[in-house]
């Protein structure tokens, strides 16, 4: 097998239930990929992540290139071994985070020159270097290096940025070394302009990738616009390849995107919320810091199979959250990732059963 396998098992409208095949196992889609930013899903052991049902996590090129360094991780046997994660890994290209975190950024045709937010050291990230870093990390899915166009922006800026990302996509593809069970995804840009999205999708498809990501959305444009852009983009992408909506999102965003043909997602929401006392439940989103939970002996979500819900009361989780205990982050992150894993499992079942149209994310209005 060269590249990443993708088999479509069922369809329901534009949605698909499928299976990705990588050198580190298979992944059922639609799938939510937890963030393993700096080589760890924050507040979770690898066993704990796998227990939620996750079989793929995301690693961040920007964070890992700066600390501990891609060459170091390669010398230690790659990211899978470094973080003791035997399942699949997708890495981002660094393009998004270099723009949001680094200092003194200078974009040129070559790439992005910047200074580390950790120690001020100088770095240059190019399509070729980004793909090399992701190779050193051992990513099963490498992402093409792109510029995430800011929102809002003038149309001609968006167009120029998208065209730059397309040239970088071509260079990224050329820099990628084919290996069995490893692949590279291209990224569609084009802001909130349907025609630019369409042109970008056509160009990315022409370059030919293992899968196709939709970038530059969910950055402030609103859900209706996100969905409109998906409707403009997805039909222009190859029907037999996986589609990945980057950085999305809330449960209802994921359901809406699956209905529009998206297969893969990542988002900071379940993990970050878990560290600030927010929990996603089948009865809605709860803030565990709220005093109304102080005497509540019931579990967070009686239908949930996670360690927080099977072992503890809301009163205890409230106490941990109020007390700033690390166990609060551990339990609520496990819970939120379980909610997201179960949400995608329920979406897969709904697609197989042909009842996706009426599917609503548990605990949300739609």
Footprint on this chain of a copy of itself (rule: CB under 8 A): 38-40, 42-47, 67-68, 72, 75-77, 82-84, 275, 294-295, 297, 307, 311-313, 315-316, 318-320, 322-323, 325-327, 329-331
Widest distance between CA atoms in the chain: 60
Cα–Cα distance measured from residue 142 to residue 162, given in angstroms and rounded to the nearest whole number? 19
Q: Whole-number minimum distance, CB 88 to a copy of itself, in Å?
A: 18
Q: Whole-number minimum distance, CB 42 to a copy of itself, in Å?
A: 6
Q: Select 64 or 347, whichever has its Cβ closest to a copy of itself.
A: 64
Q: Whole-number minimum distance, CB 297 to a copy of itself, in Å?
A: 6
Q: Whole-number minimum distance, CB 48 to a copy of itself, in Å?
A: 9
Q: Select 234 or 309, whichever has its Cβ closest to a copy of itself.
A: 309
Cα–Cα distance measured from residue 167 to residue 175, given in angstroms and rounded to the nearest whole number? 13
Q: Is 119 a catalytic residue?
A: no
User: Catalytic one among 12, 92, 146, 263?
Assistant: 92
Q: Select 195 or 295, whichever has its Cβ closest to a copy of itself.
A: 295
Q: Select 36 or 191, whichever has its Cβ closest to a copy of itself.
A: 36
User: Catalytic one among 12, 146, 253, 266?
Assistant: 266
Q: Is 266 a catalytic residue?
A: yes
Nearest to 87 by CA among 43, 116, 50: 50
Active site residues: 92, 266
């Amino acid at each position: 097998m060269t590249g990443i396998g993708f088999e479509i098992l069922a369809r329901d409208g534009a949605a698909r239930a499928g299976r990705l095949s990588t050198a580190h196992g298979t992944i059922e889609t639609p799938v939510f990929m937890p963030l393993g930013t700096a080589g760890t899903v924050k507040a979770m052991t690898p066993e704990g992540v796998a227990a939620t049902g996750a079989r793929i996590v995301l690693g961040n090129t920007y964070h890992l290139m700066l600390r501990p360094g891609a060459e170091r991780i390669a010398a230690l046997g790659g990211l899978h071994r470094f973080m003791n994660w035997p399942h699949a890994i997708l890495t981002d290209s660094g393009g998004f985070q270099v723009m949001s975190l680094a200092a003194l950024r200078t974009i040129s045709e070559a790439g992005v020159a910047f200074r580390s937010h950790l120690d001020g050291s100088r770095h240059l990230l190019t399509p070729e270097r980004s793909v090399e870093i992701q190779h050193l990390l051992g990513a099963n899915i490498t992402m093409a290096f792109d510029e995430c166009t800011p929102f809002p922006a003038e149309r001609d800026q968006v167009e120029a940025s998208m065209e730059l990302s397309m040239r970088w996509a071509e260079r990224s593809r050329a820099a990628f070394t084919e290996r069995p069970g490893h692949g590279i995804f291209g990224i569609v840009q084009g802001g909130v302009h349907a025609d630019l999205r369409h042109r970008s999708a056509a160009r990315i498809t022409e370059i030919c990738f293992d899968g196709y990501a939709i970038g530059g959305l969910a950055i402030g444009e609103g859900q209706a616009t996100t969905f409109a852009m998906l409707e403009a983009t997805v039909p222009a992408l190859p029907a037999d390849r996986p589609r990945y909506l980057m950085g999305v999102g809330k449960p209802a965003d994921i359901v809406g995107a699956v209905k529009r043909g998206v297969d893969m997602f990542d988002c900071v929401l379940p993990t970050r919320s878990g560290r600030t006392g927010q929990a996603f439940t089948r009865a809605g989103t709860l803030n565990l810091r709220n005093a109304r939970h102080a005497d509540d002996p019931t579990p967070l979500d009686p239908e949930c199979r996670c360690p927080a819900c099977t072992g503890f009361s809301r009163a205890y989780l409230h106490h941990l959250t109020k007390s700033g205990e690390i166990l609060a982050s551990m339990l609520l992150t496990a819970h939120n990732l379980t909610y997201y894993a179960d949400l995608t499992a329920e979406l897969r079942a709904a697609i197989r059963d042909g009842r996706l149209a009426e599917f609503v994310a548990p605990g949300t209005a739609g």
